[in-house]
Chains A and B, each alone.
Chain A
């Protein structure tokens, strides 16, 4: 039902756009709200060994400057918690073990591929769009570089190539959308993971798998699949051996899809367009009548004319203004 309504609105929008400009009307961010057969990933942080092979594979797949695989064994990077940036569309961070003596917890982060992405709803030119298959894709040829997507993303995942003067672009994980839709298989990070900490599948089957793992090892996992409901659900799901808040995940984002935050405001726009002119012209007619009345030597009434609260210059003096001032000029 909700989808129907949205599709209808989308259709309306598209028609309106095409009609008004006759140009290229891009579809609004569709809300493929948690389609069960959408592509999805499940990262089980209790399995991850922090080898960072996924970082290597990601750079390889996205043709980013890379280093030999051995360099990624260097543990020094774990000293600081890192975020994604223009060279690293996914990063692995290390956190303390849930219990002393156990192995540390590693968390791989990247774009969450939200069901209703804030970034796509923010983008003024639909350079970022939610694909029908689930991943959130980016087309640099449309992008104007306003970086509103960076502002909007609640997970702070997109990055920008500020050092590029001539073709700067947003960089974020696309779930290897092009490669997977062309040749099938799994995204690069899932393919390379030696312990299957990151699994590729449909959202539905991964949710079942996640629930099943929690059910079978209740003391190994916190009872929460991160991404199932966060900001309306995401296509990247997480399981963790300790609370997500302690693993650098934001747990204060709520379950409301982000585009809803601006929906109310944007729906007021047609109202402004419809009502404002009528009100303004009403005030125009009213004050005009008033002015005419005062010109006809009726004493000015306190009212709309005093709206701005200026001192009460009789309106007739204003009518005579130029002459009066020209006269004063002469002296």
Chain B
């Protein structure tokens, strides 16, 4: 901008106007042209193109789905993994709101935000995948309570609403809506209980969907215990995501979490890891019981058996041991490594059940179309961008609420200068400027 003005003043023509406009655009874009933003722009544009093709030319043009493989990446990854990885919301909410583990309070808001975004993305993926997405409301009106899918539909719909309500406190604080805040605070206990009940139901129901596929799912994975296994592994995925996310938040949004001492956070992370290690141990035990009940040991020395062992030992028992060891030696880094392994384990489990070990003996197998992959990556990118935008706009990451319903602000803007949202408002800054400053720095 400055350069263009310091030139000897040129004659004013429409061409100079265009040039000046171009420079304005360039200067607006340049500081935001981080590698992440560029990549995100490319991926999101591609995602839009795929969406367009999906809705004008159909599922056949964008996916490799077939009559034998009616569910592909969009269900197996976007839906099943998305919902499992979003389980941190109900786990952390239960720990803090129900079990009074107050020291984890700081993790609750980011966990619930991640969960909400996770569900929104899963539903977006579902809208792409459903043959008639405009009829998505039908299960609300045309009841068929004998269907597991019916239960999933209801629970996901209700729980997304609960998550939205649980996200409200930060919105209220940001816009200083005291009365609404008081209302939501009062409802928090009830919301948490309802959230846990709904999560228990649909996390297990997503596994329950496959109870009808004994003739199609590989015997190592098919079990009457699938619903239980899905629920337990969702808790694992949720805890691990919270651990991983706290790490990333500290790297990327350190200005916002400046009031949390790294050592404190590390100790809490290790605590979560310890819990995850216990849950993983339970999971591995139930998985063993399932195989014992089915009596399918003899299938272990086959290619699918190896895949099964990778999933259960490499990405189940190993992170379990790592979490436990990390707690013993007090290493948050190790806990974080374990969380990555555990997350991969849950993702592999979901993909195995829905895609890889499903109709495992067909001669022609399903391999995702590149457009399916692009859309899934685009949805993740959308989630990251939305998360970044929200934590830069709303008070989510800090440990303490910035506004209490009854007596003013809990934290003065001096004590938390980085909490741009509220203090910025006080100083009369336009919120958009706040956002753009934050956008520039971290990623």
Contact = CB atoms under 8 A, between A and B. Distances in A.
Contact of A150 (B67, B99, B103, B192): B67
Given A21-B140, A163-B58, A309-B274, A284 B189 contact: yes
A253 B103 CA distance: 52
A325 B149 contact: no
B214 A25 contact: no
B259 A288 contact: no
Contacts of B189: 284
B147 interface: yes
B141 interface: yes
Given A265-B208, A290-B100, A143 B132 contact: yes
A21 B148 contact: no
A146 B100 contact: no
B68 interface: yes
Contacts of A288: 100
Nearest to A170: B131
B272 A261 contact: no
Contact of B260 (A24, A85, A266, A325): A325
A156 B141 contact: no
Given A305-B101, A329-B259, A17 B215 contact: no
A318 B100 CA distance: 11
A26 B142 contact: yes
Contacts of A21: 140-141, 143
Interface stretch (A35-43, A58-66, A97-105, A123-131): A123-131
* Central interface residue in B104, B141, B201, by most chain A CB within 10 Å: B141
B169 interface: no
A53 interface: no
Contacts of A83: 67-68
B130 A122 contact: no
Interface string A290-331: 110000000000001101111101010011011001101100
B360 interface: no
B370 interface: no
A42 B265 CA distance: 70
Contacts of B59: 162-163, 165, 168
* Central interface residue in B65, B102, B141, B146, by most chain A CB within 10 Å: B146
A124 B141 CA distance: 11
Contact of B272 (A16, A151, A158, A308): A308
A291 B261 contact: no
A147 B57 CA distance: 18
B145 A163 contact: no
A52 B140 CA distance: 43
Interface string A143-181: 111111011101010111011111111000000000000
B56 interface: yes
B255 to A, nearest CB: 13
Nearest to A256: B214
A32 to B, nearest CB: 15
Interface string A20-61: 010111101100000000000000000000000000000000
A197 to B, nearest CB: 25
B271 A164 contact: no
B153 interface: yes
Contacts of A84: 67
A123 B272 CA distance: 39
B326 to A, nearest CB: 12
Contact of A160 (B131, B204, B275): B131
B212 A144 contact: no
B399 A325 contact: yes
Contacts of A281: 98, 193
Contacts of B140: 21, 23
Contacts of A329: 258-259, 415
Contacts of A258: 212
Contacts of A165: 55-59, 61
A259 interface: yes
B193 A310 contact: no
* Central interface residue in A118, A126, A264, by most chain B CB within 10 Å: A126
A124 B144 contact: yes
B18 to A, nearest CB: 40
A165 to B, nearest CB: 4
B139 A262 contact: no
B70 A160 contact: yes
Contacts of A148: 70, 147, 149, 209
Given A125-B142, A284-B99, A305-B101, A154 B153 contact: no
Contacts of B197: 272-273, 276-277, 280
B387 interface: no
A303 B394 CA distance: 35
A252 interface: yes
Contacts of A11: none
Interface in A265-282: 265-266, 269, 272-273, 276-277, 280-281
A69 interface: no
Interface of B: 55-61, 63, 65-68, 70-71, 94-95, 98-104, 130-133, 135-136, 138-153, 189, 192-193, 196-197, 200-201, 204-205, 208-216, 224, 227, 258-261, 264, 267-268, 270-272, 274-275, 278, 327, 399-400, 410-411, 415
6 contacts: A125-B139, A160-B131, A169-B131, A280-B196, A311-B267, A321-B103
Given A83-B67, A121-B147, 13 more contacts: A124-B138, A124-B149, A124-B152, A143-B132, A145-B131, A146-B149, A162-B131, A250-B215, A259-B146, A266-B208, A284-B99, A288-B100, A310-B267
